[in-house]
Structure 1
Amino acid sequence: MGILSAKLSAVKPSQTKAMTALAATLRAEGKSIITLSQGEPDFGTPENISQAAINAIHAGRTKYTAVAGIPELREAVVRKFQRENSLNFTTDQITVGCGAKQLLFNALVASLDAGDEVVFPTPCWVSYPEMIKLAGGVPVPIETRVENGFIMRPDDLRAAITSKTKWLMLNSPSNPTGAVYTRQNLEDLAAVLRDFPDVWVLADDIYEHLVYGEAEFSTMAEAAPDLASRTLTVNGVSKSYAMTGWRVGYAGGPIELVKAMNTVQGQSTSHTCSISQYAAVEALNGDQSFIREFRDAFKVRRDLVVNLINNIPGLECSTPDGAFYVFVGCQKLLGRDTPSGKRLETDMDFAMYLMEEAGVAVVPGSGFLAAGFIRISYASSEDDLKKACAAIGQAVSKFPSPQDVA
């Protein structure tokens, strides 16, 4: 009998982490690699936030905290939800975890029994189906289409729901596509969910502040207040505040669910780092003006990458409304042979070719349950993005033309 559980054997490692780790290994070997595989802003954490952490250390705030988070942070989260989302919570409806990722996992572990189903649109974040499986549930992907802007249609949601469905997981803005669900989109989905009162909504809003142009952010409990009693709204400071390594996420929802999530966390990580929590208080309560600066810089980078990629024959992408990813179709290049004679059968093959030939790390779309694409993160400097796109173009230009192959 092996040591590993059957449950774990069905879970795949994160492809985003795997590609980033491979890039780091190649870089350590002396190879020049530009990493566009990681969803991590290249900006530094704002000084006032870092100083709050230093002050907390000097004040001796280095002890265990409450499982759900320090009162000051939960109060700051209550104010944030009211101020920005018109959501009214009490502090006992708020829980803080080691990133939004842990809170998603806590919610699934706290609520799923064996065989319970969780529906979610694809392309999706790589961790969704694996988290669901680890929690004992059954992932039920709902395919979206490029021509619909990767937005899930209400009829497709209705068709996916069964008597075993426990959750709809919805990430907007979306990783990996950057799709943003408008208030109308959410209201249309809510109209379906009203026919299924036992289905809950897990709103993953981690990219909330990274929305561009005419697009406007909305979240389900705001768009459909009557569903708030069965909605968990998850967010965090990682992306908008350039605090990925601080590991602070927060969630607001019904007390019964939040208490259950705290039980899960109390028996696992106990709580997130006390110093990080005090930094997050400053992040939520302090000056917010830098968020606009970050967003403006990301928009410039987005437009740069979209333009450069669409000028590479065989690659194509639309302009995303949010997050900091471009989801690039590479279907036209699959089936082609590299200069060394290796055939590119899959998007993973193409991603590995770009790593080896162009020195650029991207993530294959199959990791997001969308074969035939690659995800490029534009959360890097303009200089790196220009160099990376030029290298990708050069690598693609080395393919034998169809006439030559014939």
Structure 2
Amino acid sequence: MSTDQDIEIASYIVRYMMTHERLSLDILKDKFNMDDLQIRKCLIRLYFRGQIYGQIQQINGGKLFLIFLQQDDNQNLNAPTLTLDQIIDWNINEFDLDSIKSSIKTNDTKILTSNDTETESFHQDMFVSTPEEIEISRSKETSQKDFISVEMRIGISTYKLCIRIHVKNASQDSITNSRLKFNFGHFLKYEDINPKHNVKLEESFIWVDIGKINAAQGKIFEIFFNQTQQKQIKFDGLMQYKSIDGFARVLRLYPIEIDTILPKFTAQESSIKYIKSFMKKKEIIKRIQGFGIPYVEDPDNAQLYLEKITEKYGFLQISKIDKENTKMSFYFAKTEVKSGENCEILVVPQIKRNVLAFYCCSPYEHLVVNVLRQLSYDFQSLLREKNLLEKDQNLINLNCIKCGNVLDIFPPENEFVACRFCQLLQKPW
């Protein structure tokens, strides 16, 4: 079999794993007109090159599948490692491994990518070593890939969903040509608000160019989406990178899901004394989202709009503070989360020196994030209805881009302001 056909098969496998958790070997046989022995020899060659991913398992009545993701005993998704024994199975005498190794050409071959039409920066040549060198390099690469990780967290930035991504390289060698494929729903609109990101948008997924990550270092970046519907959201994807030994690797990202549909809230009677004790509980998650609008001519009206949005969801006003530079209203409610537990939640719309904000706390982080995002989105829509915002204007995020605390002031356009918590100088708009 030619090296080109091996590459074609490996490319097909990599593309398939982007949208599936397993691949039937029967599909490979039919697509490439091969029998069981031929497909296994091909997998062995790809194994020696370090270009194959997954585990071969018998499921569905004994059918053989290449598994890309599987759950452990704790229901966590893991990317399993393929072993030579799994490819050979029990017929080890059928294969002449030395002959297969010697058949692997040592000329240049292409790095495998998920898409044959990707940009040239990810179609660079790599050198295929001798079989002995491949065994050494593959062992080293296996140990390195265990130290490459991607962490994702969902947050908010005014009305937008924010995905914070931390790519870590904890190994002792650098990785290059790394990029991230990020899948999302059709009802989410990607917002290109950070010119530092080299992002390529394709229908319901994006490619983010990460580049080189040095040894024992990482990169953190954020991706923003405008959500057009309240519904269940699932994010997944993969990361591609090139190891120090020239191998192309694919790391599947663990899917994360969040239900953005707000539950029904019921007004809850309470007192300021109870509210204070509620806020001090260790299990309570506290978040605040600050924002500005270009013109706040009447703070009283702005506070009334914040309160109107909060009351729309059934919250009951418990108390109110009305001072010259500070206006705050305390709203309390209860709801039932998916686990069936009753949950109390506090929302505090407020204005301090022309900085508007929603404060929210509850034992459930996903609920806090959803409430803050939805209240911000509804407030922005109300301001547009009142002609206080142009249709193409958005709320301006006043949370510090480094530590997340709300900035003290809403500066004029194109002016810098320092965060009083971390002292970072930044320009909000």
Regarding TM over 0.5, the answer is no
More helix by share: 1
More strand by share: 2
Superposition TM-score tier, normalisation by shorter sequence: under 0.3
Q: Which has the higher contact order (CA 8 A, sep 6+)?
A: 1
After TM superposition, the score normalised by the length of structure 2 is: 0.25
